[in-house]
Amino acid sequence: MYPSKMTNAHGVENSVLLADIGNTYFHIYNGSEIEHLSYEEAIRKYSKEALCYISVKQQLDSTIANISLWKNISKEIQLQGAYETMGVDRRALCLSHDDGIFVDAGSAITVDIMQNGEYIGGFILPGLKAMLQAYSSISPVLDTELNETISLAQLPATTKDGISYGIIASIKALIDKHSDGKKLYFTGGDGKLLSSFFEEATYDEMLVFNGMRKALKATSR
Amino acid sequence: MYPSKMTNAHGVENSVLLADIGNTYFHIYNGSEIEHLSYEEAIRKYSKEALCYISVKQQLDSTIANISLWKNISKEIQLQGAYETMGVDRRALCLSHDDGIFVDAGSAITVDIMQNGEYIGGFILPGLKAMLQAYSSISPVLDTELNETISLAQLPATTKDGISYGIIASIKALIDKHSDGKKLYFTGGDGKLLSSFFEEATYDEMLVFNGMRKALKATSR
């Protein structure tokens, strides 16, 4: 699903590395593809290169601030209508298009709605892994894996399917309720899987980076 | 919400204590009211009295088997259409009425559908507490309490509300999707709270015990 090759038509911001530092992974776009690295790997590999980043991983702030070639561009990610504590990755994701529903399915699943370039609101669900852990924390009987091809057309009749259905169908029911003809965009580690349960959905790993580039372009004018 | 006083019109099964041993609490019906006790308290208080129980807490099985006055009636809880590993508390809950949607909101939230006295299927969600823990396990930023009066009429615009909305609205959207004119019954520790988000819903702490009594009556015939 990686874009084959980026042209430089997007301007200077394409020449630096872009990083989206999430709750679990470091996502780096190098102009042609996206790498998903651990924090340690990312710092080891890229600390000697110029890089613009956004981060929701507050625990890393002081470590990263010491890397002189890395620039925090969170303040440049301006999203009209956003609320104060809204994560910067969600802001960047929403900036990628003026209209639509934006689902980032990572450690958490965020669902945000944009209309005419303005942020309308959104909600947060635990990610698929955190959901499975929540079940297993309740009882060993509920400790199971996700049935990734669960049918939503019929009610389940096993514990594993009852859990898989509970996770997927509840997310889908709430997103569907808000769809209202809007285009549906997915990104994040579980975005492709989750998008497979919707009839018309776009999965695109570049959305957050596209939002970052759009913000950089706007501020460089 | 306790029933004021039980008559003995229901027959002999009213004379013994009934216990529903869940993943977190011991629920005991003494013929007039329901007590929610810790495992230790329940055993200390009632081990010298005759008691019929169902249990999903496998870790307690060997301890309880040693209490001679307590009788496991799980095998009597026969629900037509049930799947093999379906929890006995869910079976008892479904036995309480021949038709409806049955939501038990405890450590886990189970949603089960009955039609003409037959079990149709159901699904499992993490309980409200397990959901909140799932968020906080992802990031300290997502460590919050539930806004128990969250409005579902508009999209939230704070992290706390985005999480509260994510929890409540996703459960509600999936239950609503299956409602289809069926009566909606809630039980369990968070049942009353959850039922407040539905226009027509019955909250009744007695449902599981009513199912147990129905099963005992059927086998005593």
Q: What pLDDT, in 10s, does the model give residues B161-210? A: 999 999 999 999 999 999 989 999 999 999 999 999 999 999 999 999 99
HSE at residue A98, side-chain half, CA atoms within 13 A, is 2
Q: Averaged over A46-55, what is the pLDDT?
A: 96
What is the band of B221 on the pLDDT scale with cuts at 50, 70, 90?
A: low
**How many angstroms separate the CA atoms of A56 and B183, rounded?**
44
The confidence band for A218, taking pLDDT boundaries of 50, 70 and 90, is confident
User: Tens of pLDDT along A176-185?
Assistant: 999 989 999 9
Report the mean per-residue pLDDT for chain A.
Answer: 92
| For residue B220, pLDDT beyond 80 | no
Supply the ipTM of this predicted assembly.
0.88
At residue B13, the pLDDT reads 44
- Distance in Å, alpha carbon of B34 to nearest chain A alpha carbon: 23
Residue B89 designated active-site: yes
A positions 127-156 inside 8 Å of B (CB): 127, 130-131, 133-135, 137-142, 154-156
CB-nearest to B155 from A58, A121, A162 is A121
Residues 5-64 of A with CB under 8 A from B: 23, 56, 58
Q: Which two tokens stand for residue A68?
A: 């002189």
Per-residue pLDDT tens for B43-53?
Answer: 999 999 999 99
The pLDDT value recorded for residue A221 is: 66
Q: CB–CB of A139 and B166 under 8 A?
A: no
Look at residue B4 and tell me whether its pLDDT is greater than 60: no
- pLDDT tens per residue, range A2-28: 333 333 444 444 568 999 999 889 999
pLDDT band at B218 (very low <50, low <70, confident <90, very high): confident
For residues A61-84, average pLDDT: 94
Long-range pairs for A27-34: beta carbons < 8 A, 24 or more residues apart: A27/A208, A29/A206, A29/A209, A31/A6, A32/A2, A32/A3, A32/A5, A32/A6, A33/A2, A33/A3, A34/A2, A34/A205, A34/A206, A34/A209
